[in-house]
Amino acid sequence: MTDRLQVFGATPSPYTLKLLALLRFKHIPYSIHWGDITSNLKKFNLEPAKPSLLPSVIMDSNHSKSVSTDTTPIIENLEITYPLRPVLPTHSILKFLNYILEDFGDEWMTKYMFHYRWHFQKDADNAEILLPLTNYMNISDEDLHTFGKFISSRQKERLWVVGSNKETAKLIEQSYIELLKCLEKHFKQHIFLLGNFPSSSDFAFFGQLQQLINFDPTPRALAHKYSMRTVAWINNLHDLSGYDIDDRNEIYDNDIMLSLNMLFQEISKLYVPCMVANHQACKSGDETWEIEINGSTWKQKSFKYQFKCIEWIRERFQQLSSDDQKIIRDFFENTNCHDLIKI
pLDDT-based confidence at residue 55 (cuts at 50, 70, 90):
very high
Q: pLDDT at residue 29 above 60? A: yes
Above 50 in pLDDT, residue 1?
no
Peptide bond into 55 cis (omega under 30): yes
Numbered ranges of CATH 3.40.30.10 in the chain: 5-81
Is it the case that residue 216 has pLDDT exceeding 70?
yes
**pTM of the predicted model, to two decimals?**
0.97
Nearest to 184 by CA among 270, 96, 262, 85: 262
- Would you say residue 263 has pLDDT above 70? yes
Q: What is the pLDDT of residues 168-193, one digit of tens each?
A: 999 999 999 999 999 999 999 999 99
Q: Which candidate, 33, 39, 28, places its Cα nearest to that of 13?
A: 33
Q: Return the H-helix or E-strand segment holding 300.
A: strand 296-301
- Tallying the residues shown for the chain, one arrives at 343
- Tens-place pLDDT, residues 275-288: 999 999 999 999 99
**Residue 164 pLDDT exceeds 90:** yes
Mean pLDDT for 86-97 is 96
Q: What is the pLDDT of residue 247?
A: 65
Q: Average pLDDT over the chain, rounded to whole?
A: 96
CATH topology of domain 5-81: Glutaredoxin (3.40.30)
**For the segment 225-247, what is each residue's pLDDT rounded down to a tens digit?**
999 999 999 999 999 999 998 76
Instruction: Determine the pLDDT at residue 140.
Output: 97
Given pLDDT bands bounded at 50, 70 and 90, which one contains residue 250?
Answer: confident
Check residue 202 and give its pLDDT. Answer: 98
Measured on CA atoms in the order 44, 240, 105, 326, is the torsion positive or negative? positive
Looking at this protein, which amino acid is placed at residue 191? I
pLDDT of 62 reads: 76
